[in-house]
Structure 1
Amino acid sequence: MSLRTTQISLVRRSFALIEPIAEQAGALFYGKLFEADPGLRRLFHGDMQAQSHKLMQMIGAAVALLDQPERLLPVLRQLGARHGGYGVQAVHYETVGAALIKTLAQGLGPAFNAETRAAWLAVYALVSGTMQSACDLQLADISG
């Protein structure tokens, strides 16, 4: 799956609006995530403020590389393999995606229109699909 230039532009433009409130957006995301699935809390150890900061940095880095799949995809594969080791399962990606979209909708307000939402959904499909595939490969290697 590849992203269209318009999708990349919409995601970059909307993320630029989120960056100034990144700390609040990260906290909002995890609040929505744990509200949707309280059992996910067990996967996180340590300071959630630091975790929120890392998440927002990671999203920013991915957004910056959306037009460079040759650089982005290997990073996502490594991240997916690592997350498999943390106990992340395929069903969790759906919950994370829903929490991300809700966070963006709340953080961006009217700027999160249907076109921007669709662009973020396309980006998340690429990110989560790549990460899940890497996780599946790692699990197959371990059990294989």
Structure 2
Amino acid sequence: MVDAALSLLPGTFDEMLGEERLEIDPELIPILQDLAERHVQYQTKAKHYSPVGLAIVTTFERMLGDRFNDDTKAAWVELWSLICSVMIPAHVKRAQQMGVEIEYNRQSCRLG
């Protein structure tokens, strides 16, 4: 199943990334912000972003085995950090608006 999904990608993950740093498509920002706001309504906390990201990266690592090398892991960690850089501020803002306790610190998006 993983092999079938990977075969749809144009080259390896490393080839797709090249030497460039990842950037979030501006069209994705409001989508991520909306997602973060909905997470507050689901009673998630900003501190939950780190364990979720770690679970995602660990799942890929286990499923892909040797194909999940250090560069691939670094890219996924970077991607997750970018996602968090958009979602956590939106999450905190919405939590404040709703009067929900904010459980957040600078480690809320750190993986590992």
TM-score (norm 2): 0.65
Within a 5 Å distance, the mapping from 1:88-99 to structure 2 comes to 88-99=44-55
Tell me which residue corresponds to 2:35.
Answer: 79
Q: 1:60-93: CA deviations, max 9, x gaps?
A: xxxxxx7662111111000000011101112211
> In structure 1, what is the equivalent of residue 5 of structure 2?
19
Mapped to 2, the partners of 1:134 and 1:78 lie a distance apart of 8
Moved over 4 A (4+): none
For residue 93 of structure 2, what is the amino acid of its counterpart? L
Matched residue, 1:32: none
Query: Are the equivalent residues in 2 in contact too, given 1:18–1:107 (CA < 8 A)?
Result: no
Q: 1:68/1:107 Cα in 2 relative to 1: closer, same or farther (>3 Å)?
A: same
Q: Secondary structure at the match of 2:91?
A: helix
How many positions carry a matched residue from both structures?
84
Distance 2:51 2:71 in 1: 21
RMSD, aligned CA: 2.4
Partners of 1:86 and 1:114 in 2: CA distance: 34
Given the two structures, how large is their TM-score scaled by the length of structure 1? 0.52
SS at match of 2:44: coil
Which residue, out of 62, 78, 87, partners 1:106?
Answer: 62
CA contact 1:83–1:135 (8 Å) conserved in 2: yes
Matched residue, 2:72: 116
Q: 1:127 to 1:118 in 2, by over 3 A?
A: same
Change (3 A) 1:101 1:74: same
Q: Point out where structure 1 has 5 or more consecutive residues left out of the alignment.
A: 1-15, 21-65
Query: How far apart are the structure 1 equivalents of 2:85 and 2:4?
Result: 24
Between Structure 1 and Structure 2, which shows a larger proportion of helix residues?
A: 1
